[in-house]
Amino acid sequence: MPRATAPDRSVMRLSHGQAAWAMVGVTLLWSIAGVVTRHLEAARAFEVTFWRSCFNAAFLLLVLTAWRGRGLWQRVAQGGWPLWMSGLMWAVMYTCFMVALTLTTVANVLVTMALSPLLTALIARFTLGQRLPVRTWAAILVAGVGIGWMYGQQIAGGDARHLLGTLVALAVPLASAINWTVIQRGSRTSVDGGEGQDMLPAVLIGALLSSLVSLPLAWPLQASAYDLSLLAGLGVFQLAIPCLLAVGIARVLPAPEVALLALLEVVFGVAWAWLGANEAPSLAVLGGGALVLLSLVGNEVLGLRKRL
């Protein structure tokens, strides 16, 4: 139906370069979560997750209903395994990311999440048969060195709470890698010119699942009005809008490249926490983050030269 596919086709008209820059904007929005949570008054752990996912779900429900109309729930009910698997992965990312932020530093969570492109490349290679150019493998390798530098320093003096936060954060890159691959598999027909599967409802499914799972663990709710205003902003601007954009961008860019660009969230997020919450990163975080950024820039510049 035209109404169902128009938003996706508009995203598909993006060039590779436009999609890459759009993904940079997405990571910038994603990166504000850490600094915002450091300014909460009373909400903690699962309550932070519940409210953010709840506001996210409410916004997505309005937007997707406007786009899909009454056919939204029919698409959800009739969605195949890629839709529901993607929804489950979104829920894991929504939940584990926010819980991890309440247990350990912003830098440690983001550095752990930066394992995503390594996992994505491996999964996409064996499930989608995607061949990666040498430049992308080289960029992932350099980024991995930077991540190892940052990560090794972070865990050197960790306590039990810090290690628990790291373990929770590890679920995010694994779910992310599976999710990018599933989204491309589900929408591959569209990329080749057919109708394909509408994967946008998966973002809503993830928000609803995250809300339902975290509510019992968050009770009794203690968030102040100030907390609710911050968490509403996160639900809409840090989560719903960029996630919708990311689903469309994943139709244009290969899954490993999307995950590689998503590493910018590490650099942006650490900078926000440093400037806005006085979480000064160590020399290892700065050095490793610089390697990550250089690998991203190098990969995109070499790719652009090849296409010109």
Contact 209, 49 (CB under 8 A): no
Residue 109 lies in a domain: yes
Q: What six digits make up the tokens of 188?
A: 């591959």
Q: What pLDDT does residue 305 have?
A: 67
| Residue 8 is assigned to a structural domain of this protein | no
pLDDT for res 280: 75
The pLDDT value given to residue 146 = 80
Is 6 a domain residue?
no
- Residue 2 belongs to a domain: no
For the chain, how many structural domains are there in total? 1
* Neighbouring residues of 31: CB distance < 8 A, sequence distance ≥ 6: 110, 264, 265, 268, 269, 271, 272
What integer pLDDT is reported at residue 2 of this predicted model?
A: 29
Q: Is residue 87 part of a domain?
A: yes
Asked if residue 303 belongs to a domain, the reply is yes
Residue 167 located in a structural domain: yes
Residue 224 in any domain: the answer is yes
> Domain containing 62: what range?
14-307
Q: Give me the pLDDT at residue 5, please.
A: 35
In whole angstroms, give the CA distance from residue 303 to residue 300.
5
Nearest to 107 by CA among 161, 52, 162: 162
- Consecutive sets of 10 residues in the chain, 308 residues long: mean pLDDT of each? 36 72 91 87 86 91 82 74 88 90 82 76 71 79 79 64 78 86 64 56 89 90 91 91 82 74 83 81 76 77 66
